[in-house]
Amino acid sequence: MPETSLTALVLLCLAALLAGWIDAVVGGGGLLLLPALLLGLPHAPAAQILGTNKAVAIVGTTGAAVTYVRKAPVRVGTAVRIGLAALTGSMAGAFFAAGISSDVLRPVIMVVLLGVAAFVMLRPSFGARAEGEERGPLTRARIVTAIVVVGGGIGFYDGLFGPGTGTFLVLALTAVLHLDLVTASATAKIVNVCTNAGALAMFAYQGTVYWQLAAVMAVFNLVGGTVGARMALSRGAGFVRGVLLVVVFSLVAKLAFDQWA
């Protein structure tokens, strides 16, 4: 485990808890977890940050996926096929991520954060409620498109950088497969487990994971993910919108200060 103060460890665990909750409800827990690791471990190599992030995130995502599958109308077979493509894409992304420096990573994360924030602000209804049943059958063309674009493309991004993957998956699955938001979020969790697994396997092979720190944070991430999934199923995701925007802008401000101060 890297050297960290007790205060930093507590804050990282709280970030993991909240990230698991946000990720389960609307996706995008990495928007909080990855920057928190960058701030909490300022001298750690970028590859170690990315690897540790995946080791934490896969636990909470799995807990959320199990909760959703038990209670939401998920087409598990379709989700698994997309997930297998995502696993391959994330392994490829993680392979290239090993050479990325923190100086490059921070600006990229800020751009992603601002892009997601702009989308949420311009689409007030995003994530507010599920909008009924699927809008039409899942044709072969739509499934193939989802496997290639959603699975391969977003999977590669998740392995390479990661923040916002859950949100991007929800958006893409809603657009490509015409799912309502709750079903899209549930499907996204299954796919996200696969992307995390692929990236984590590559990071583990390269030896770029702080396993002890990840194990501690993963407990909190699991609790947050399970609770978040239950709340999404019972109340919808609209109540997270304001919290997500506050967190995003706060992190952008902090990362910008650290980058250019």
Q: What is the pLDDT of residues 12-48, one digit of tens each?
A: 999 999 999 888 877 778 778 888 898 889 888 888 9
Which domain covers residue 55, as residue numbers?
Answer: 6-260
CA separation for the pair 60, 164 (Å, rounded): 15
Q: How far does Cα 41 stand from its chain's mean position?
A: 20
Please write the tens of the pLDDT for every residue from 185-222: 888 889 989 888 888 998 999 999 999 999 999 999 99
Calpha distance 243→19 (Å, rounded): 11
Q: What is residue 132's predicted lDDT score, i.e. its pLDDT?
A: 43
Query: How many angstroms separate the CA atoms of 77 and 95, rounded?
Result: 27
Q: Return the residue matching tokens 């079903």.
A: 183
pLDDT of residue 102: 62
Distance CA 150, CA 88 (A): 12
- Distance of alpha carbon 89 from alpha carbon 159, whole angstroms: 7
Kind plus residue range of the DSSP H or E element containing 60: helix 46-71
Compute the CA torsion angle 221, 12, 98, 185 (nearest 10 deg): 30
Kindly report the backbone phi and psi dihedral angles of residue 199, in degrees, each rounded to the nearest multiple of 5, phi listed first. -65, -40
Residue 190 gets which letter from DSSP? H
Structure confidence at residue 61 (pLDDT): 92
On average, the pLDDT of the chain sits at 82
Residue 133 phi/psi, 5-degree rounding, is -80, 170
Counting residues of the chain whose pLDDT is more than 70, the rounded percentage is 84
Q: How far apart are CA 18 and CA 33, in angstroms?
A: 8
Residue 1 lies in a domain: no
Helix (H) or strand (E) holding 167: helix 165-177
pTM score over 0.85: no
8 Å CB contact between 63 and 226 = yes
- Average pLDDT, stretch 87-113? 78
Residue 22 is predicted with a pLDDT of 84
Domain count, the chain: 1
Query: In the chain, how many H helices and how many E strands?
Result: 11, 0
